[in-house]
Amino acid sequence: MVTAVAYRLASQRKQIDEILASFQLSMENLIEVKNKMREELEYGLKKETHPIATVKMLPTYVCGTPDGTEKGKFLALDLGGTNFRVLLVKIRSGRRKSVRMYNKIFAIPLEIMQGTGEELFDHIVQCIADFLEYMGIKGARLPLGFTFSFPCKQGTLVGWTKGFKATDCEGEDVVDMLREAIKRRNEFDLDIVAVVNDTVGTMMTCGYEDPNCEIGLIAGTGSNVCYMEEMKNIEILEQIEGKMCINTEWGGFGDNGCIDSIRTKYDKEVDEGSLNPGKQRYEKMTSGMYLGEIVRQILIDLTKHGLLFRGQISEPLRTRGIFETKFLSQIESDRLALLQVRRILQQLVLDSTCDDSIIVKEVCGAVSKRAAQLCGAGLAAIVEKKRENRGLEHLKITVGVDGTLYKLHPHFSRILRETVKELAPHCDVTFMLSEDGSGKGAALITAVAKRLHNIDKYLYAMRLSDETLLDIMARFRREMQNGLSRDFNPTATVKMLPTFVRSIPDGSEKGDFIALDLGGSYFRILRVKVSHEKKQTVQMETEIYNTPEDIMHGSGTRLFDHVAECLGDFMEKQQIKDKKLPVGFTFSFPCRQTKLDEGVLITWTKRFKASGVEGADVVKLLNRAIKKRGDYDADIMAVVNDTVGTMMTCGFDDQRCEVGLIIGTGTNACYMEEMRHIDLVEGDEGRMCINTEWGAFGDDGSLEDIRTEFDREIDRGSLNPGKQLFEKMVSGLYMGELVRLILVKMAKEGLLFEGRITPELLTKGKFETKHVSAIEKSKEGLNKAKEILTRLGVEPSHEDCIAVHHVCTIVSFRSANLVASTLGAILNQLRDNKGVTRLRTTVGVDGSLYKMHPQYARRLQKTTRRLVPDSEVRFLLSESGSGKGAAMVTAVAYRLAEQHRLIDETLAEFKLTHEQLLQIKKRMRTEIEAGLRKKTHENAKVKMLPTFVRSTPDGTGSFIIIDARAAW
C-alpha cells in the first residue's frame, strides 16, 4: 500500500517535472535564440528582406539621445501599457536643467480597446480634454508627443498587439486619427509633433540622465527593444551618416517558426486564444500580458491530470486572463509564506493544499525564469551587435528599462541580467530603471522635433518631390530642344552651344601639348605628353597659378596679359620657350564657336567679370597678349569648355563616355548630340559635342516656382544678377552662402544659437561650401559643425549643430536632386537618339563639390537612377582634370592640321601654274601642227589620224572627223 502511494506520488512528480522541464532552456538553447535573434535583426535591416522580416526593425527618425538643451512646455500621451496617461511636461535647459511632470491616469474600458477606431480616439481626446480642464490650460495650443506603444511604420499603425483590437486603425496614420478626433470634438487644438514607441520614450528618459544609454527595453504588458543603430546599416534609408533609433519590435520574433522548437503546447494554446493568433510569439513567451495566461494553461492541464487541486477545475480558472501576471509576481515573492500563496489561489476559488501551493510556485518560477532568460538572450544579441558596430573588444553600455514585469517581479530583472552577462561576456551592461515612464522621453523628443519642424517650415520649399523633379526634367528637355533649334536658339536660355568636337579620343592621339585651364577653382597650366609606344600613355606636369580678384574683375587686356605671363613662366620652367607647341585652352565659360579654335565669350559667369571680353574671341585676345610679349610663340588650336575637357578625359579611359558633367564652382554639362538635330551647324552626318550651358536654366523665369527667398538673395548679391539662376541653386560657389543666409534667418527667428547673431555670421562668404562638406561627414560631422560655428563666433549647443547639419543636408540634397533632373533629360535625349529602350552610358564628372562632398555623388547617382530607371549609367570621376581632355582635343585638331599640311604638300605637285599651262598649250599646238604635216606626221606624238568622216551632221550625211588621240 505504502509502495503504491509512493509510486503514485513519484509518477505524479515525474509528470510535473516533465512539464516544468519543457520550460527549462539549456545554454545551447539560449545561444541559439541569441544567434537567431541576431539573424532576424540583420534581416529586418536589409532592404531586400525588410518587408517580410518578423523582427520589423522600424526606423524611428530619432537620431540622437537628449543633450540637455531641450526646453519648453509639452503635452504627452502615453497609450499602450498598463495605464493610459496624459501628462504635462515642463523642461528647463542649461545649468538648471530639469523636468517637471504632472500626469493623470485614465481608464480605457475593454469595449473601447476593442471597439471602433473612432470610439478609441474619441475617448483619448475626451481624456485630454479632462486633463486640460483639470490643469487649467485649455486655451494653450501646446506641442504634443504621443507615446503609442504599438508597431508603427512612418506614423502608420502596422498592427495592434497586446489587448488592443480597435477596428479601422491598422494601416492608418496615428497622428491623422488623433487630429480627426480633435476636430470632431471641436473644442481645442493641439500641435501633434511626434509619435514615439514606449521603448524609445524609455531610452530617451534614461538618456537624459545617462548619455551612454543607447538601448530602451520594455518588459511589461508587452515586450520590445529599441537601440541606436548606425545609419549605414539601415539599408532601407540609404543614408550613411549618423545614427538612428530602431524600434526592433522583437515581439514578432519567431512568427516565422524559427523558435518553434522551444515553444510548448501551452505557448501554442495561449497564442490560439489571443487577439492576434500566430503573431508576437516571442512576446507571448516573455511579457506580462501572457505569463499569467501560460501559468493558467499549465494549472488547468495539471488539474485535469489530477495533479493539482484534487482534480477540480474551478470556474474562474477556466476564464481567460484571470491569472494575472501580478499574481505570478506575488506568488514568486520570497517573502511570501505558502499560506499567502494559498490565499491568492483562493481568490481564484482554488482550494489548494500545501503541496498544490508549492507546485504552483514552481510553475510560476519556470514560466517567469524562461521569460527572463529569453529576454536576456534577445538583449545579448543587441548589445553584441552594438559592440561589433563600434568595432570594440569591450563595450560599456546602458540599457534604459521600464515595464511592470521588470519592476514588480521579484526575480525577472536578476535573471535577465545574469543571462545577458553570460551570453554577452564582452559587454558591460548597466540596467537603468526608468523612473518617470516614457512620457518624459516623448516630451524630450517632441522638444527636438518641434525645433526641426520649425526649421522645416523654412526649408520646406527646398525639399523637392520626385514629381517636381520629373517636371523639372521635362522642362529642361524642352529647353534643350529650343536651344538646338535654329528658330528658337536666339531667345533660348539654355544655349546648347556646338563645340566642334566630333568624337571622344580613339587611342591614336599623340604628341606634346600645352593645356591652359581657366575658370574653375584654380588656374592651371599643364604640359601633356601623349606617347604611343606599346600602348597610349599620358604624362602630365602641372603648375597652378594664382588669379587675384582684381585681375578677374579688371580689364580683359590685363586678364589675358596675366594668362600670357603665366604661360611664359611655365614655358620657361619647362625650357620650351623656343618651341611652338600646340595649345589647348580650357576656358570654362559659355563661348559661341564656329570652329574649334575660336570662342566668342557670351557672358562671364562665376567669379569672373573682366571688361571688354564679352562678345570677343578669347583665342584672339590670348594670341594678341602673347604676340605683344614677343618672347615665345604658341599655337592655340582649340578652345574647350571644362565639361568637354572632362568628357574627353574620361573618354580616354572609357569609350562609352558621352556626357561631361561639372559640379564645382559652377555647374554645366555637355553631351554628344546627333548632327541632324543641331540646326546651327551644317551637315547631318555623325555627332557633335554640345555644351548645354545649363547653368542659365531658369533665367527666363521658368524655375520661379521652386526658387526660394534665399535663392533670390544669393542672386541679388552676385556678380551677375538675373543670370545663371540654376547654377546659383546648385553649385559650389553659392552653396555655403545659401546655408549662411538660412542660418542667419533662423537665428534671427530664435531657432538657432539662442537668437545670437555674430558679425562673422553676418559676413558674406564666411560660411563656405567646404564647410557644408565637412559638416555632412558621417562620423566627425557634428564635431566639425561645432568647430566651424565656434569660429563664426557663436557658441553652438549640440542641438544647434544638429540643426545646422540638417540645413546643410537639405541644401546639398536639393542641389544633387536638381542636377539629377537636368542630367536625366540629357540621358533621355541620348536614349531616344539611339532608339534603344535601355540606355547604357558613361558620364564623366568633375568639380570640387562632387569630389569633396561626402554624400553628393551617392545622392546624385541614386536620384538619377530613380528618375531615369531605364538606364545603366556609370559615373566616372575625372581624376586628372579637364586639361588632359583639352590636350586630347588639341591632339585631334593637331593631327587634322598635320594631315591637311601633308595633303597640301602632296597636292602641291599636282598644281600647275599659269605659265606651265601656257607652255602646255603652246606645245600641244606645235604637236598638232606636226601631226598634220606630211613630213612630220609619221613620228608625231599627237597622231592626228584622218577618219574620213567629212563633216558634222548637216543633213547630207557626209563629214570628216579628225581623231586627235593624244599619245601622252
Closest Cα to residue 401, out of 163, 146, 213, 244?
A: 213
CB 561 within 8 A of CB 616: no
Which listed option, ligand G6P, ligand BGC, none, makes contact with residue 698 (CB within 5 to 8 Å by class)?
Answer: none
Residue of 69, 147, 398, 499 interacting with ligand G6P (CB under 6 A): 147
Binding mask 240-269 for ligand BGC (x = CB under 6 A): ---------x-x------------------
Q: Is position 400 an interface residue for ligand BGC (rule: CB under 6 A)? A: no
The DSSP call for residue 683 is -
Segment 24 to 83, residues that bind ligand BGC, using CB under 6 A: 80-81
Asked whether position 286 contacts ligand BGC by CB under 6 A, the answer is no
197 is in the binding site of which of ligand BGC, ligand G6P, none (Cβ under 5 to 8 A by kind)? ligand BGC
500 binds ligand BGC (CB under 6 A): no
Say whether residue 881 binds ligand BGC (CB under 6 A).
no
Q: What's the CA gap between 949 and 946, in Å, rounded?
A: 8
Q: What are phi and psi of 689, to 5 degrees?
A: -75, 130
* DSSP-based three-state secondary structure for 492: coil
Q: Which of 520, 584, 796, 824 binds ligand BGC (CB under 6 A)?
A: 520
CA 601 to CA 202: how far, in whole Å? 64
Give the DSSP letter of residue 228.
Answer: E
Name which of ligand BGC, ligand G6P, none residue 773 binds, using a CB cut-off of 5 to 8 Å depending on partner kind: none
Does position 692 bind ligand BGC by CB under 6 A?
A: no
Longest distance between any two alpha carbons in the chain, whole Å? 167
The CA distance from 295 to 308, in Å, is 13
**Is residue 202 near ligand BGC by the rule CB under 6 A?**
no
- Cα 964 to the chain's mean position, in Å? 85
Nearer to ligand BGC, 437 or 824 (CB): 437
Stretch that binds ligand G6P, among 151-159, 233-241, 374-382, 398-406 (CB under 6 A): 398-406
Strand order of the β-sheet with 511-518 is 536-545, 523-532, 511-518, 582-587, 635-640
**Dist. CA 938–CA 940, nearest whole Å:** 6
Could you give the CA distance from residue 219 to residue 609 in angstroms, rounded to a whole number?
Answer: 68
Site for ligand G6P in 473-492 (CB under 6 A): none
Cell numbers that stand for 397 in this block:
553600455
Question: Hey, what's the cell of 587?
Answer: 576656358
Q: Provide the 8-state DSSP code for 150.
A: S
Q: Is 815 a catalytic residue?
A: no
Angle at CA 423, nearest 5°, toward 421 and 425? 55
How many residues contact ligand G6P, by CB under 6 A? 39
Q: Does 373 bind ligand G6P (CB under 6 A)?
A: no
Q: List the single partner that 878 binds among ligand BGC, ligand G6P, none, CB under 5 to 8 Å by kind.
A: ligand G6P
DSSP state of 852: H
Which three cell numbers mark 788? 566651424
Beta carbon of residue 164, minimum distance to ligand G6P (angstroms, whole number)? 12
Among ligand G6P, ligand BGC, none, what binds residue 35 when CB lies within 5 to 8 Å by partner kind? none
* By CB under 6 A, residue 724 contacts ligand G6P: no
Nearer to ligand BGC, 145 or 220 (CB): 220
For the question of residue 588 being annotated catalytic, the response is: yes
Stretch that binds ligand G6P, among 87-95, 434-442, 539-547, 574-582 (CB under 6 A): 434-442
In order of 769, 783, 827, the CA distances from 476 in angstroms are 26, 39, 12
Query: Rule CB under 6 A: which of 713-752 touch ligand BGC?
Result: 724, 727
Q: Buried b vs exposed e over 846-874: b needs ≥16 C-beta within 10 Å? A: bbbbbbebbbbbebbbebbeebbeebebe
Instruction: Give the single-character DSSP code of 953.
Output: -
Asked if 447 and 73 count as a contact pair (C-beta separation under 8 A), the reply is no
Looking at beta carbons only, is 80 or 207 nearer to ligand BGC?
Answer: 80
Cα-to-chain-centroid distance, residue 454: 22
Cα separation, 873 vs 860, in Å, equals 11
Among candidate residues 329, 368, 434, 588, the one labeled active-site is: 588
The three-state DSSP-derived secondary structure of 439-469 is HHHHHHHHHHHHHHHHHHHHHHHHCCCHHHH
Catalytic residue of the set 263, 387, 477, 524: 524
Pick 255 or 693: Cβ nearer ligand BGC: 693
Nearest CA to 279 out of 253, 259, 246 is that of 253
Q: Among ligand G6P, ligand BGC, none, what binds residue 202 when CB lies within 5 to 8 Å by partner kind?
A: ligand G6P
- Selection from ligand BGC, ligand G6P, none that 233 binds (CB < 5 to 8 A by kind) is none
Return the residues of window 40-79 that contact ligand G6P according to CB under 6 A: 78
The reply on whether position 586 binds ligand G6P by CB under 6 A is yes
Residue 393 CB burial class (10 angstroms; 0-12, 13-18, ≥19): exposed
Cell of 900: 591637311
Closer Cβ to ligand G6P, 649 or 871, answer by number: 649
What is the spatial distance between Cα 480 and Cα 484, in angstroms, rounded to a whole number?
A: 6
Q: In terms of Cα–Cα distance, which of 253, 473, 524, 208 is closest to 378?
A: 253
Find, among 229, 174, 170, 231, the residue nearest to 197 by Cα.
Answer: 174
Is residue 229 at the binding interface for ligand BGC, with CB under 6 A as the rule? no
524 is catalytic: yes
Q: Roughly what angle, to the nearest 10 degrees, separates helices 798-834 and 781-791?
A: 110
Does position 82 interact with ligand G6P (CB under 6 A)? The reply is: yes
State yes or no: residue 292 binds ligand G6P (CB under 6 A): no
Q: Which of 150, 570, 753, 850 binds ligand BGC (CB under 6 A)?
A: 150
If the CB atoms of residues 197 and 446 are measured against ligand BGC, the closer one turns out to be 197
**642, 699, 800, 846: the active-site residue:** 642
Q: Is 890 in the site for ligand G6P (CB under 6 A)?
A: no
Whole-number minimum distance, CB 51 to ligand BGC, in Å?
Answer: 18
Site stretch for ligand G6P (CB under 6 A), options 106-114, 277-285, 397-405, 555-563:
397-405
Contact pattern for ligand BGC over residues 625 through 664, marking x by CB under 6 A:
----------------xxx------------------x-x
- Coil, helix or strand at residue 377: helix
| Least Cβ distance, residue 148 to ligand BGC (angstroms) | 8
In a 3-state reduction of DSSP, which class is residue 670? strand
User: Considering the rule CB under 6 A, would residue 702 count as an interface residue with ligand G6P?
Assistant: no
Please, what is the minimum distance in Å from the beta carbon of residue 249 to ligand BGC? 6
C-alpha 279/C-alpha 537 separation (Å) is: 65
User: Which residue in 216, 519, 584, 844 binds ligand G6P (CB under 6 A)?
Assistant: 519
Using CB distances below 5 to 8 A depending on partner kind, what does residue 151 bind out of ligand G6P, ligand BGC, none?
A: ligand BGC
- Give residues 437-456 in contact with ligand G6P (rule: CB under 6 A): 437-439
Contact of 117 with 174, CB cutoff 8 Å: no
**By CB under 6 A, is residue 283 in contact with ligand G6P?**
no
Please say which residue, 218 or 747, places its beta carbon nearer to ligand BGC.
218
CA 434 – CA 60 distance, rounded (Å): 20
202 versus 274: smaller Cβ distance to ligand G6P: 202
What is the rounded distance in angstroms from the CA atom of residue 440 to the CA atom of residue 582? 73
Query: In 3D, which of 3, 465, 500, 80 has the Cα closest to residue 251?
Result: 80
Contacts of 797 (CB under 8 A, 6+ apart): 67, 69, 754
For position 434 contacting ligand G6P by CB under 6 A, the verdict is: yes
The catalytic site residues sit at: 524, 588, 642
- Contact residues: ligand G6P, CB under 6 A: 78, 80-82, 147, 149, 198, 202, 218, 220-222, 288, 402-404, 434, 437-439, 517, 519-521, 586, 588, 642, 646, 662, 664-665, 732, 846-848, 878, 881-883
- Contact residues: ligand BGC, CB under 6 A: 80-81, 149-151, 161-162, 197-199, 218, 220-222, 224, 249, 251, 283, 519-520, 588-590, 605-606, 641-643, 662, 664-668, 693, 695, 724, 727
